[in-house]
Amino acid sequence: MTAIRAAPLRWKVLFFRGQRLDHAAHVALARRFGEPVVLPRRGSASPAGFPEVETTADRLELGGRFGMDHDEWLDRRRHSLLRGWHCDHGARVDPPAATILRAEAVPPYGGDTTWSNLAAAYAGLSAPVRAFVDGLRAEHRLGVGYRPRPGEDAYVRHLLGHQVATVHPLVRVHPESGERSLFVNGYYLERIQDLSRAEGVRVLEMLLEQAVRPEYTVRFRWEPGSVAFWDNRSTIHLAPGDHTVSGAPRIMHRVMLAGEVPVGVDGRASEPLTGSEPGVW
Residues acting as catalytic residues: 86, 88, 237, 254
Cβ atoms of 94 and 259 closer than 8 Å: yes
Reduced to 3 states, what is the DSSP secondary structure of residue 46? coil
Where b means 16+ CB within 10 Å and e means fewer, 218-250 reads: bebebeeebbbbbbbbbbbbbbbeebbeeeebb
Alpha carbons 185 and 172: distance in angstroms, whole number = 13
Indicate the DSSP class of residue 103.
Answer: E
On whether the CB atoms of residues 52 and 248 are closer than 8 A, the answer is no
Element of type H or E holding 115: strand 113-117
Report the alpha-carbon distance of residue 149 to residue 221 in Å, rounded: 33
Cβ atoms of 224 and 105 within 8 Å: the answer is yes
How many beta carbons lie within 10 A of that of residue 213, not counting itself?
Answer: 12
Q: Are 95 and 157 in contact (CB under 8 A)?
A: no
Nearest 5°: CA angle at 276, between 271 and 281? 140
H/E stretch holding 173:
strand 171-173
